[in-house]
Structure 1
């Protein structure tokens, strides 16, 4: 072994063998103070790691003692100025931290380096899938060079190639070899064209078209035209019928999109297409499903007929739900009873159907049957349970059953190296790495220990991980831990400043981020209350940085300010403002009743956007829970009457036909 390698092997040995017994010598300091000092020293070493010699680095690592994040320093040092002389260092590190998040942190850049330098033998030795397409292609290419069996390799290459988007250019040499060996079949090409057209990267269709024989290239053109404009399917004469199964697939796809743009044209085309093509039962079900839901949302006169047709072809929860919504819009109570009682119990046993069954019986004067169903629902803690309790005028059942975890179990989990690393990373606000370590902790635990880890996360103030862990384990009755009073000082302060209910602010934050201060949505909304930069700019009349939006204080200030803005837009109607927080107030205004007011519960059920509909239900339920939580910690001895509670007000509320200006 060369002298250049020895210092780092020494580090690995220190970490794996000696550091557990090493002492970080800090006189007259408590364990908490010692950890704070170690944390500060860790950050100092990290800042200067690039210009620290190996010898000095070893001494500083020894000085850090048993600090949990020492492996992250070693990983950083190994990856600095990578070269093949570090192979032994990488081996030792991977051996020590196999299976942990640290393994991938060093393995991926190491493999990329080896691939770039074309160090085949080392690459093949170290290769393990790490979710990197480039590396997977390189590995398969090396296997081909080594003469591995085509029968084993071709299916793996096909899986990499047959995707809806263009793969990295580094994969091209592999794909060329595979294609030359006869791996690309017409079936694969047509599959990939369909994937690209149906929500994928349609620009690759031109490339794929060239791989087809001349007589089938028109199929690629039809897919591309239909992707660009679903009205292409109206011109059925363009569908030659030479390959009817594939053409029927294209027509099915196109009609599923056309129905949202031109219902009359879609209906007429479907009728004509069935005389020319033999559609499979699956394709008929797909068309009926899209037609039914689109027409239900548009309140089309044929909506119910299509809903019935769709239900006869497949059991789809969304179709049944929209059938219910159509009947609710007409307040056709007897038909609702008929729908719920005759549909599959697999679907209608859900609380929403049982609630509307009860409402229907009540509307038709059968109070006894209605109250029996309401009573069953009122025993549960959810949106419909709270509605049922309010209808009956009885107290809400929060089903709070706090977990009691033995202290020795807590201590055993906290002593895990990965748990210690997760805690330290959280304290340093390196939340992504902390969550990776915490997920690794979960993998090492049984079901009861995972519940204990949820309690630990809550004790650490890591509320999002406590919430997610409870959800993943299926234990939902530890209400205080699942609905913590997180960031209470700033949320209550900003809610009161903006004259909104604090329980509403808590409910919004709980639904938006589960109190994850660094949350970023696919729409690029940030932080605790998921504030968009554009919203922040509008409210503040200046640009607000993404980093600022990650600050809980700034985010809570802007989130509550936006709630106040929405309340002003919708005449202080919290239900409409909640929907507006998710979908935008102008869109919510377009959902208001057309001719007369409707009950709030009925209006919520007929919101056309599933995401917003579920969002409103969740926030209202959370608001009720937080109203109870706030009472529990208040000095008040008198709880709100049911009629004055969140759901007491909701069941009395009528949604108007106009709000605002």
Structure 2
């Protein structure tokens, strides 16, 4: 139904798409197709609703264009999205927003800014003629930060082309580019932005810039977190760092209150908070095991039956879609029963992801599955790396799907790239290696743990650096380490990794490793703080 709706809207058959109504599936492009079709057929649609549903994609861009053509949305509604796209250096999205915001003449000015912001700025003088012209100036300084921040910052300091708020926002753009390049000067530039409202992405980096300083000003860390919007402040990362700041400032009771609020979070920050309170990380109270009656009942669910049948004939992608649709609206006991069935049929990624959806009770035997235990553990011990760490990495890489293949060509449980696999094959002296061998279970795990051990040794035994290197490449991990002016705690290093994917990856893998360590070592894990250690410049 969703695909039909998207197709109908794309062909201009808006009456059919609108008649199909809402689809009971979280597919933003279908929701956008419906909103566009309702707008095209004269039905009233909410602009706020449309913007909340928007996700980059053909149907959602078409929806925005329709509402823009109808005069329903313009600069006021799209400014924040436009600035976010410029800030994130998403040139395609920024250009699309610009085409809906600016006149043809202004759009030509925008294109000139994107080509050479410094030259464009040099041609400007006086006050901006309109809010849209002022926006072009602000964007020009944002682009200048990416083109030449060394000279650009001097131009920004002396300019009278910007309003006070736009100048503060521009300083934050320079701060962002600087901290993403791991420069200590970034915090000073962020300080010039004062408390200007920033995107969540930039607000987070304003805090990280403060954390990266050679001598951390914990009052500054606290203040930058308190500049965030309330929803962002409630995220576990910022509750933890706010509590750290309070503790450093001697506000012990308030810090402990913050830490305690994270004790029911089982992620990286919940673990760190528990250790900050002096408590040992242990598995939380576990839900009662799934009963035979519950399992039998869930096996009568036709949607799950279809998913299992699709898995059985090798149609894994369709099986995942069918499974995800079937579990919508299930309660905790039903979700755990479904996860148990997935475990029985070797649908391990669904075991984990389904069990993660429970709200009031948890089953860590499902959430932290350890399939293939003997074989993976043997390979890890063979090369001298922690089995718990390897399991934490595999859980994040492939969710234990041996045939997993990423969009960039990584394969198997440990998601090895073809070039990496060839490198390890030569290192191990594998004769007549060919690419198909990487799909073999034992070959994939042996190559994966060998590569991981090699990175670990080159990074001085740091699991933080080795995990980052496994995801982003060993050379990048080395560059990030060498950007340090002095030793930093591992948690701060992990928090300030400039690649979003790698930053999250490192946190997930090391948090996973603690839970697996409890599973494998009779409840006596290496602490997360100990695993993170201290990262020193090379």
TM-score range, shorter chain: 0.7 to 0.9
Superposed CA RMSD in Å reads 5.3
Change (3 A) 1:366 1:300: closer
Question: CA–CA distance in 2 between the matches of 1:149 and 1:301?
Answer: 49
Partner of 1:63: none
Q: How far off is 1:419 after superposition?
A: 1.8
Within-5 A mapping of 1:103-252: 152=42, 199=90, 201=92, 217-237=104-124, 244-252=130-138
1:478 aligns with 2:478: no
Partner of 2:414: 529
Within-5 A mapping of 1:480-495: 480-495=365-380
Question: CA–CA distance in 2 between the matches of 1:419 and 1:574?
Answer: 39
- The answer to whether the 8 A contact 1:295-1:302 is kept is yes
Change (3 A) 1:356 1:243: closer
Deviations 1:189-225 (A, max 9, x none): 9x9xx899984659999xx89xx9xxx6443332323
Match for residue 497 of structure 2 among 593, 607, 610? 607
Aligned partner of residue 42 in structure 2, secondary structure: helix
Q: How far off is 1:251 after superposition?
A: 3.2
Question: CA–CA distance in 1 between the matches of 2:175 and 2:309?
Answer: 53
Partner of 1:619: 509
Q: How far off is 1:482 after superposition?
A: 0.4
Question: CA–CA distance in 2 between the matches of 1:252 and 1:453?
Answer: 52
Aligned partner of residue 267 in structure 1, secondary structure: helix
- The answer to whether the 8 A contact 2:218-2:248 is kept is no
TM-score normalised per structure 2: 0.73
- The answer to whether the 8 A contact 1:296-1:304 is kept is no
| Equivalent residue pairs, number | 504
1:584 aligns with 2:451: no
Q: How far off is 1:647 after superposition?
A: 2.7
Partner of 1:309: 193
Question: CA–CA distance in 2 between the matches of 1:317 and 1:433?
Answer: 34
Within-5 A mapping of 1:182-581: 199=90, 201=92, 217-237=104-124, 244-270=130-156, 275-276=160-161, 287-297=170-180, 298-301=182-185, 303-304=187-188, 306-307=190-191, 309=193, 311-314=195-198, 316=200, 318-320=202-204, 322-323=206-207, 325-327=209-211, 329-332=213-216, 334-335=218-219, 339=223, 347-348=232-233, 350-353=235-238, 355-356=240-241, 359=244, 381-390=266-275, 394-443=279-328, 445=330, 448-474=333-359, 477-541=362-426, 545=435, 549-581=438-470
Question: CA–CA distance in 1 between the matches of 2:347 and 2:422?
Answer: 29
- The answer to whether the 8 A contact 2:117-2:140 is kept is yes
Structure 1 unpaired stretches of 5+? 1-98, 633-638
Q: How far off is 1:527 after superposition?
A: 3.2
Partner of 1:44: none
Question: CA–CA distance in 1 between the matches of 2:108 and 2:247?
Answer: 57
Question: CA–CA distance in 1 between the matches of 2:297 and 2:367?
Answer: 23
Q: How far off is 1:314 after superposition?
A: 4.7
TM-score normalised per structure 1: 0.61
Question: CA–CA distance in 2 between the matches of 1:339 and 1:242?
Answer: 33
Change (3 A) 1:327 1:424: closer
Q: How far off is 1:359 after superposition?
A: 5.0
Aligned partner of residue 579 in structure 1, secondary structure: helix
Question: CA–CA distance in 2 between the matches of 1:313 and 1:463?
Answer: 43
Question: CA–CA distance in 1 between the matches of 2:448 and 2:314?
Answer: 22
Question: CA–CA distance in 2 between the matches of 1:369 and 1:246?
Answer: 45
Question: CA–CA distance in 2 between the matches of 1:442 and 1:492?
Answer: 32
Change (3 A) 1:365 1:449: closer
Which of 1 and 2 has greater Rg?
A: 1
Question: CA–CA distance in 2 between the matches of 1:501 and 1:535?
Answer: 21
Question: CA–CA distance in 1 between the matches of 2:117 and 2:494?
Answer: 32
Partner of 1:24: none
Deviations 1:153-179 (A, max 9, x none): 999xxx9xx999999xxx9xxx9xx9x
Partner of 2:429: none
**Structure with more contact order per residue of length (Cα contacts < 8 Å, sep ≥ 6):** 2
- The answer to whether the 8 A contact 1:401-1:479 is kept is yes
Question: CA–CA distance in 2 between the matches of 1:597 and 1:390?
Answer: 21
Change (3 A) 1:333 1:421: same
- The answer to whether the 8 A contact 1:455-1:481 is kept is yes
Change (3 A) 1:417 1:338: closer
Question: CA–CA distance in 1 between the matches of 2:407 and 2:378?
Answer: 29
Deviations 1:298-318 (A, max 9, x none): 435362452473534358475
- The answer to whether the 8 A contact 1:533-1:544 is kept is no
Question: CA–CA distance in 2 between the matches of 1:410 and 1:392?
Answer: 39
Change (3 A) 1:592 1:424: same
